[in-house]
Amino acid sequence: MAALVIGAGPAGLMAAEELARAGHRVVVAEAKPSVARKFLMAGKSGLNLTKAEDFEGFLSAYGDAAPVLEPMLRDFGPEQVQAWAEALGQELFTGSSGRVFPKAMKASPLLRAWLGRLAQSGVEIRTRWRWVSWDGGFGFDTPGGARELRPDICVLACGGASWARLGSDGEWAGMFEARELAPFQPANMGFVVDWSDHMRPHFGQPLKNITLQAGDERVRAECLISERGLEGGGIYAVSRQLREGASLHLDLLSDLSVEDIRDRLSRVGPKQSLKNRLRKALKLDPAKLALIMEFARPLPSDIAPVLKKLPVPLVGPRPMDEAISTAGGVRFDAVDDSLMLTARPGVFVAGEMLDWEAPTGGYLLTGCLATGRWAGRAAAAYLQRRARP
């Protein structure tokens, strides 16, 4: 056989499409009973395909991995992702934050159209094929028993190590040398807070119009008070800094300065309790007032600075399997510029298997699509070079 892709998520399917477009026979092996399960799960809350912003700003979201990913994202960045989705019949819209969604919001219509196009190009997808070895060939556990394939090239796109029930269990790491891997760590995850009982009525409440600060990173976003701690887009955006040891502070009044807060409080009768003055003068909702009572007592007479930088002690991150994505995986110094493993010529790596992390908001999915496309094209070029006399 010519080309094997292991993993039928966005990166693997994109690699398969590029290989098929180059005229190669492609088999995609997927461990789960159906394809792209994590992709479909992401679409349940609205499929955020990419982020419409200037390229330099977009690239900076990838942090330390930006220099390596830059050529791949220039080749297939926000504009190209939108054109790709539209070519699959999906009408798109861009929200006020720049996030791009299909008008249908769900992932399933896009996936159906994509799978139809792949089938027309001859791509064969084999589900319940779990990759278990690569001594000589690629060994699989399948419904029909053990099987081995010996492709001319292979693209690995097995995902990271979160959401194991959706297929990203990280078990493939056991087939690599330790020097080729960076340890898995949770990314885009919630954090545990040891709440007192008085916070219980506020579980499930959003914190709006706040700015989260972790180290040097400041992000204006929302997050959610949950029974287990803090979750949601705002906390995910600073999760890397928090994971690496930074403290979390919340600016509960992002539109007001310390002096604005003092001025507003001074207009409310001093005989009232400070809690009532906070509620009346600053229009603080019950969830924010509860946070102040939780972490700022005894309340200082000059509370304005506290409201602009409320400390929130964290116990630690939620377990890795609950994280949206993971850091760690195949190190970039274990692959060349084409994403081919230097220790295994003809084997390429794409998607979350690679050691990079990106925030939610379209960056993660765009990165998976871009690396899958890059690896697929590089694998096709590798086959073409080998076929030359």
Domain range summary for the chain, segments of one domain joined by +: 3-186+326-387, 191-317
**For residue 340, is it left (φ>0), alpha (ψ between -120 and 50) or beta?**
beta
Element (H, E) at 132: strand 130-133
Give the helix/strand (H/E) hosting 5: strand 3-6
| pLDDT, position 339 | 98
pTM, rounded to two decimals: 0.94
pLDDT grade for 386, boundaries at 50, 70 and 90: confident
334 pLDDT more than 90? yes
pLDDT of the residue at 389: 64
Find, among 207, 239, 228, the residue nearest to 324 by Cα.
Answer: 239
Averaged over 67-72, what is the pLDDT? 98
Q: Is 346 exposed, middle or buried (0-12, 13-18, 19+ CB in 10 A)?
A: middle
What are the tokens at 126? 């084999």
* Per-residue pLDDT tens digits for 191-212: 999 999 999 999 999 999 999 9
Residue 337, pLDDT > 90, answer yes
Q: What is the mean pLDDT of residues 321-332?
A: 96
Half-sphere exposure (CA, 13 Å, Cβ side) for 294?
A: 23
Give 338-367 pLDDT, tens digit per residue: 999 999 999 999 999 999 999 998 999 999
**Mean per-residue pLDDT for 172-195?**
97
Would the pLDDT of 274 be above 90?
no
Q: Which tokens is 183 given?
A: 């340890």
Burial of 43: CB neighbours in 10 Å, binned 0-12, 13-18, 19+: buried
Residue 114 has pLDDT above 90, yes or no: yes
The pLDDT score that the predictor gives to residue 1 is: 60
The CA distance from 354 to 54, in Å, is 25
Say yes or no to pLDDT of 271 above 80: no
Tell me the pLDDT of the chain averaged across its residues.
95
Q: Is the pLDDT of residue 330 over 70?
A: yes
Q: CATH assignment of 3-186+326-387?
A: 3.50.50.60
Q: Which residues contact 4 (CB under 8 A, 6 or more apart)?
A: 26, 27, 28, 29, 138, 149, 151, 153, 154, 155
Between CA 199 and CA 379 the distance in angstroms is 54
How confident is the model over 328-337, as a mean pLDDT? 98
Top-confidence residue, 272 or 256: 256
In sequence order, what are the residues at sequence separation of 6 or more whose Cβ sits closer than 8 angstroms to the Cβ of residue 252?
A: 207, 210, 284, 288, 291, 292, 307, 308, 310
For residue 313, whether the previous peptide bond is cis, meaning omega lies within 30 degrees of 0, is: no
- The answer to whether the beta carbons of residues 26 and 122 sit under 8 Å apart is yes
